[in-house]
Amino acid sequence: MSRMPSTHTLSRETGAELSRSSSVPMQRGVDPHRVTAEQLDRARLAVARSAAGAEDCRTLLDMLGLIEGEDGIAPVRR
């Protein structure tokens, strides 16, 4: 039976520096807590694909803060 080398062994052999953190990399130069326009569009599409119908979609988008308010800004972008 073949044995897979451990992460420690791989990093030592390749010289790669492996992070112990399991967090997602942050965008550089951008507030990591700010939702981008692209993220907002992708979230809206994901909700629309999963919704049972138009009214269900609108309700879900509203509950998640993905619909623009009276000021033209979605609550998740504030």
Structural domain spans, the chain:
34-78
- pTM greater than the 0.85 cutoff: no
In whole angstroms, what separates CA 23 from the centre of its chain? 12
Residue 6 has pLDDT above 60, yes or no: no
Q: What is the pLDDT of residues 43-78, one digit of tens each?
A: 999 999 999 999 999 999 999 999 999 999 999 988
Burial class (CB in 10 A: 0-12, 13-18, 19+), 66: buried
